[in-house]
Amino acid sequence: MSSLPQWPSRTRRGACVSAMQWTRAGILAGAVMAAIAANARAQEMVTLAEAMARARSATPAARALASASAEADARVGEARAGYLPRIDLREMVQRGDQPVFVFSSLLSQRRFAAANFAVAQLNAPSPLTNIRTSLSVEQSIFDGGLTRLAVQGAELSRDIAAAERVGATQDLALAAAQAFVRVLQLEAADRANGAALAAAHSDLERARARRDAGMVTDADVLAVDVHLADVRQRQIATAGDLAVGRMQLADSLGLPLEAPLTLVRPVALPPVPDENALLRDALVARADRQQADLRVSLAENARRAAQARFVPAAAVQAEWEFNGSSWNAQRSSWVFGAQVQVNLFAGFGDAARLAGARHAESRAAAEREQVDRRIEMDVRAAVARLAAARAREEAGRAALSQSRESQRIVRDRYESGLATVTDVLRAAEAALDAESRASAAEMDVILEAVALERARGRL
């Protein structure tokens, strides 16, 4: 006879339950780690340099700038067409009894006869159909350099568009860097708020323990509760700002607004070069300085074009015609000629155009001088702001270390009954503010370094 099944002892049951709990905990931990790993793989790691490069090339604004540059390049080909002959093919079908039309059409068709000289026939001809096919060619021989100047002007406009594209893409990169640094700053603030929230919970437990021991009153607990609620509000506000900042960053990179991004904090920045060297570099590399030079050349080109309108122009033309009452009965003819055109008087319009071109040339030179002054101001101001940001960063780190140490000391004194809850809350607020200022100063250094690169035209 088989024995009855024996239940495990209490010790064995406890061991089984414990093993099952550890197994479930292991499975749960594995699932959590797998989810974290999958989420990390789904997120795209982005550095500051990659963000700026993407803003310069992969956004709708960058594509629009590229199209504008290509459009200006196409204008050069349009201007160069003035060197080549103009060839037109025309096909025309006409019918009528207008006397001049009938007379000239009969001559063109080479069918004019003596009977057509009759006065009645000349005054009231029968309706006539004329089918005219013509091929005309016109070639400019000399136009006072207008075509050459038009090509040069188009090339200068193309170069201006290219320089504008460089400056505009650098602005896009700067905007992306600002959005990038903004997200980094908000992430740091979110972490600081999380740490402050944990510290506030710890202070609340400490205040409750001292109240339960009869060492303080409920006022201390309520004060810490109020502080805890304030920290929660800060955390909620920062989380909302962070969500908006992430969307703005994705938009500046041309990505979907909900794209998951993991930002890589920049490494230590190199020291700032000599200010005068930066200024010399900016006068060569800045896109707006290049545009100013090109606009001076373009204004000079426009002045020369206005002068060229006073010079005679010459061209040759040739035309082949085929006329007939039907396509099968067409007869051919041709004409060849040359034309010289001299501008004797145009109501003083050409003189006014030349005067305006000279004033535009003077304006372009003055604007270039103004650009030089603005570049110098931008570079020197960027250097000063970067130096101030680095000084704030050093001061912020020192203040953060001191505020944390002060908070630790105040907490110890509160435990010993030597400090009030007001001292604890004041120390907590000071530590949170110091961490916020230190993080902001650190991000300012990164942003001001990028702004300096933009000021020198090397972004």
Residue in the structure block whose two tokens are 């068709």: 109
Sequence-separated (6 or more) residues with CB below 8 Å from residue 282: 289, 375, 378, 379, 455, 456, 457
Query: Helix, strand, or coil here: 41?
Result: helix
**Gap between the Cα atoms of 93 and 236, Å rounded:** 79
Q: Can you give the pLDDT at residue 25? A: 41
Decide: 377 and 356 in contact? Cβ < 8 Å.
no
Strand order in the sheet with 128-142: 86-96, 128-142, 313-324, 331-341
Please give the structure tokens belonging to residue 69.
């540059």
Degrees, nearest 5: CA angle 71-75-81: 145
Sequence-separated (6 or more) residues with CB below 8 Å from residue 224: 200, 203, 204, 207, 421, 424, 425
Please give the structure tokens belonging to residue 278.
């930066």
Q: Can you give the pLDDT at residue 270? A: 66
**Gap between the Cα atoms of 189 and 181, Å rounded:** 12
**Gap between the Cα atoms of 272 and 395, Å rounded:** 19
Helix axes 349-415, 146-212, angle to 10 degrees: 10
Query: 145: alpha, beta or left, given left = phi > 0 and alpha = psi -120 to 50?
Result: left
Query: 348: alpha, beta or left, given left = phi > 0 and alpha = psi -120 to 50?
Result: left
What are the boundaries of each domain within the chain? 49-91+145-311+349-455
Domain 49-91+145-311+349-455 bears CATH identifier 3.40.50.300: no
Secondary structure (DSSP) of 238-282: HHHHHHHHHHHHHHHTT--TT--EEEPPP-PPPPP--HHHHHHHH
Secondary structure (DSSP) of 294-346: HHHHHHHHHHHHHHHTTS-EEEEEEEEEEEESSGGG-EEEEEEEEEEE----S
Residue in the structure block whose two tokens are 């093993």: 19
Q: Can you give the pLDDT at residue 268? A: 64
Decide: 242 and 187 in contact? Cβ < 8 Å.
yes
Decide: 168 and 122 in contact? Cβ < 8 Å.
no
Sequence-separated (6 or more) residues with CB below 8 Å from residue 423: 410, 413, 414
> Would the CA dihedral through 377, 382, 387, 391 be positive or negative?
positive
Instruction: Give the containing element (helix H, strand E) for 8.
Output: none
Q: Can you give the pLDDT at residue 4? A: 36
Stretches where the chain sits below pLDDT 50 are 1-41
**Gap between the Cα atoms of 306 and 360, Å rounded:** 12
Give the residue from 69, 79, 80 showing the smallest Cα distance to 160.
Answer: 69
**Gap between the Cα atoms of 409 and 294, Å rounded:** 65
The whole model's pTM is what?
Answer: 0.77
Q: Can you give the pLDDT at residue 411? A: 87
Q: Can you give the pLDDT at residue 373? A: 96
User: What distances in angstroms separate CA 356 from CA 18, 64, 138, 304, one per listed residue?
Assistant: 94, 32, 32, 12
Decide: 182 and 252 in contact? Cβ < 8 Å.
no
Please give the structure tokens belonging to residue 298.
């373009």
Decide: 251 and 61 in contact? Cβ < 8 Å.
no
Degrees, nearest 5: CA angle 288-290-293: 110
Secondary structure (DSSP) of 167-205: HHHHHHHHHHHHHHHHHHHHHHHHHHHHHHHHHHHHHHH
